[in-house]
Amino acid sequence: MSLGALDLGVVGVAALAAGAVNALAGGGTLITFPVLTAVGVPALNANITNTVALSPGYIGGTIAQRADLEGQQARVRAVAVPAILGGLAGGALLLAVGASTFRALVPWLILTAALLLAIDPIAKRWIRERLSHKDGHGHLRLAGLVAFVGSVYGGFFGAGLGIILLALYSLVVPESLVRINALKQATSFAANAAAALFFVFSGRVVWDAALVMAVGALVGGAVAGRFVRFVNPGALRAVVVAVGVVVAIVYFVR
């Protein structure tokens, strides 16, 4: 399917906002996914298009934190392949459940993503406290398992993946939150890139929307990065969470 000029403009603006929100607080998928469905894209196709369109944004985040990955080469190698396999498995699972089942899961997935975003500050405080009492060198196999489990979710839906990876990595990786966040970013990039590549051949990507969204998200993220010090991420997160809850309710009522 393809979208008209007006619909492309709408999803482009949504992607612009999502890119900015991702740069400032996270949760951009809670904006773009419902907008895609609102302009007539079926839920399964919308989710797949969303993954393909927003995956390039993870490149910038990974590059921005490359300094915090120094000395973590062994961990990056340990999580890279499981993350790729998890992203592929999540993508395959998404296609296997089919459009009708996924449509029934949508409100639950959106509600879960909104909840994960809402508890982000609490989760980070818990992680910092836990990390302050941790020693040792961690377990690379457990880190790989975490990467795989989280990436399956990421390939299937993706919103909230960062919080899941942060929480799980904090259990097995004895590093600072900043360095764990960098490992999370690299894992998210690998998982989403693998899922996106898998979806390219699914025949379900709405390509005109994906291209417009990719540009919009990159521009939104770049512009927002210049104003990050002037924005209250907590307030923005609260708005996105509220939007997610309302969208979930709308899907429940449908």
Number of domains in the chain: 1
The predicted structure's pLDDT at residue 24: 65
Distances (CA, A) of 68 to 34, 134, 148, 163, 186: 34, 19, 22, 18, 11
CA distance 3 to 186: 33
CA distance 77 to 221: 28
- Give the chain's residues under pLDDT 70: 23-26, 60-62, 64-65, 127-139, 224-233, 236, 254
The predicted structure's pLDDT at residue 64: 67
CA distance 15 to 10: 9
Collect all residues with Cβ–Cβ distance below 8 Å to 102 and sequence separation of at least 6.
Answer: 43, 44, 47, 94
The predicted structure's pLDDT at residue 68: 75
The predicted structure's pLDDT at residue 6: 92
The predicted structure's pLDDT at residue 136: 47
CA distance 171 to 196: 28
The predicted structure's pLDDT at residue 46: 92
Domain range holding 230? 5-253
